[in-house]
Amino acid sequence: MEWNLRRMESELRQINPDLLQPSKSFKKPSSGTITINVGGYLYAAQRHTLAKHPGSLLEEMVTGKKPVVHVDSMGNTFIDRDGPIFRHILNFLRMGELVLPDDFKEAELLRREADFYRLSELAQALQDWEQQQATQHEPAFLEVTDSHERSQGLRVYCSDSTFIEKVKNRLVQISKSRLDGFPEEFEVSSNIIQFRHFIKSEQGSRLVLKQDSTFLCTLECLKLEAVMLALKGGYRLLTSLDSSRGSVVQCEALHFVK
């Protein structure tokens, strides 16, 4: 048995001299890969990945600003924190965004770990994820109202602000052959946009669909665009349509739920 262990150790050293001494990669600045032990779980990552957020605990450890206090039996830096949850932290550092399963139930634990590692960006991303999850589980209401008067125009309200963003992303204002983006004057809040007029003080300004800058938007066009986005997005029409009105764009108020 002892001979087999020595032979295995010799073979491992030929393959990778650092494999039996992972701590060398942590202490050696020229080494690009680092192995750390978090609560008994080993994680390997590139040095620049762990040092991505200046001021974080991990950045201070890999740059030597904070001395290594604890190591495991293999020489790996040991962090006495939750091991399984660290994979979400490492994935955030790698991808730059927080990706969690829909049935994730350990948000509070992840928030505490983000505070421990001093990753404020992760804490903010987690807060945004929780808000998004709450929105997905609550009914979303959409109301499209049209007074048929230019002074009032078309009003689009949605409890889910992401729908408002979709409407805004479909439209752009053009002034003297340049794109000005979505006009801020039409945005009442993150949940409401109201189109009172389409021509600004600058002559030649017009509101068009982003995909077709030659298509000039009217109130009817904007209403139809909102209705189509709603139906494609899974919203269900609640309003009883009056056949005498002729078409959906003639209705003064349309209500949807998702």
Tens of pLDDT, residue by residue over 152-162, are 678 999 998 99
- Per the CB < 8 A criterion, the answer to whether 45 and 33 are in contact is yes
Mean per-residue pLDDT of the chain? 81
The verdict on pTM exceeding 0.75 is no
As given in the structure block, the two tokens for residue 222 are 């904007």
| CA-based end-to-end distance of the chain | 66
The partner residues of 127 in beta bridges, in order of sequence, read none
* pLDDT(39) > 70: yes
Residues in contact with 159: Cβ distance below 8 Å, sequence separation at least 6, in sequence order: 138, 139, 140, 141, 142, 191
Measured CA to CA, the distance from residue 152 to residue 115 in angstroms comes to 48
For 64-78, 161-175, 195-209, which range has the lowest pLDDT when averaged over its residues?
A: 195-209
CA angle (131, 132, 138) in 5-degree steps: 90
* pLDDT(1) > 60: no
Summarised one tens digit per residue, pLDDT across range 120-143 is 999 999 999 998 887 777 788 999
pLDDT of residue 28: 52
Burial class (CB in 10 A: 0-12, 13-18, 19+), 244: exposed
The larger pLDDT score, comparing residue 104 to residue 214, is at 104
Summarised one tens digit per residue, pLDDT across range 40-67 is 999 999 999 999 999 999 999 999 898 8
Q: What is the mean pLDDT of residues 84-103?
A: 94
State the number of CA atoms in the 13 A half-sphere of 8 facing the CB.
Answer: 6
pLDDT band for position 217 (50/70/90)?
A: confident
Residues in contact with 135: Cβ distance below 8 Å, sequence separation at least 6, in sequence order: 160, 162
* pLDDT(26) > 90: no
Closest CA to 84 of 121, 42, 114: 42
Spell out the long-range contacts of 119-128 with Cβ–Cβ below 8 A and sequence spacing 24 or more.
119/53, 119/56, 119/89, 119/92, 121/53, 122/89, 122/92, 122/98, 125/92, 125/97, 125/98, 126/98, 128/98
